[in-house]
């Protein structure tokens, strides 16, 4: 991760205990509402744990006259759904679960339009089994151009650098996103 991460142990532990004690595989698969309910609870816990503000800002956000939008670049709801689908064993391992919260707390600064562009959608009208993902997390921020506080514009071989945090994205998240994209015809 990028910095020394301070954990609010009350939030981390209560979230872990609550989800571990209540969320079963059967409950998770029962309905779309259950998946939305539990992933939203995880998101609220991530928010309560506090943001880990990275030094990264999109080029467009750096040109705003107002304060840019802090964006959880690793969408907590989507990450939780991916974890439950691909590697639910994380929910049975306290330290791995805490690391998942740490991961989801990272934010970058973007414009509100960019923030809208990188969101996924819940499949309300379909089966609701998988959300609608348009672009993988490892790709969706690449076109923004990035500035690092104290360093300036990030360049790679003379062109704008791709998203500087993509190396943090776990393979299982990408596998889940590709599954969602195939299901909805985006891959």
CA distance 44 to 107: 15
DSSP 90: G
Residue 162 has pLDDT above 90, yes or no: no
End-to-end CA distance of the chain: 30
Pairwise CA distance, residues 7 & 129, whole Å = 32
- For residue 160, what pLDDT is reported? 72
Question: If you average pLDDT over residues 168-178, what whole number do you get?
Answer: 97
Q: What is the pLDDT of residues 62-73, one digit of tens each?
A: 999 999 999 999
- Runs of H (alpha helix) within 31-121: 32-49, 59-62, 76-86, 94-105, 112-117
Tell me, what's the pLDDT at 154?
77
Confidence class for position 2, pLDDT limits 50, 70, 90:
very low
pLDDT at 106: 97
Q: Are 42 and 76 in contact (CB under 8 A)?
A: yes
* Token couple for 11: 């939030």
Range of weakest confidence among 24-38, 74-88, 164-178? 24-38
């Amino acid at each position: 991760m990028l910095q020394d991460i301070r954990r609010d142990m009350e939030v981390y532990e209560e979230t872990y205990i609550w989800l571990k004690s209540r969320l079963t595989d059967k409950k998770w698969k029962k309905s779309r509402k259950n998946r939305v309910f539990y992933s939203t609870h995880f998101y609220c816990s991530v928010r309560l744990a506090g943001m880990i503000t990275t030094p990264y800002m999109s080029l467009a956000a750096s040109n705003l006259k107002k304060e840019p939008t802090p964006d959880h670049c690793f969408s907590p709801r989507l990450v939780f759904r991916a974890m439950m689908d691909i590697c639910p064993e994380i929910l049975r391992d306290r330290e791995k679960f805490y690391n998942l919260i740490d991961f989801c707390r990272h934010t970058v600064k973007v414009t509100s339009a960019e923030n809208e562009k990188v969101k996924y959608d819940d499949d309300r009208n379909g089966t609701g089994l998988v959300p609608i993902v348009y672009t993988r997390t490892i790709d969706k921020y690449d076109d923004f151009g990035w500035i690092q506080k104290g360093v300036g514009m990030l360049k790679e071989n003379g062109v704008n650098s791709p998203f500087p945090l993509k190396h943090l994205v776990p393979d299982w998240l990408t596998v889940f996103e590709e599954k969602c994209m195939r299901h909805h015809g985006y891959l």
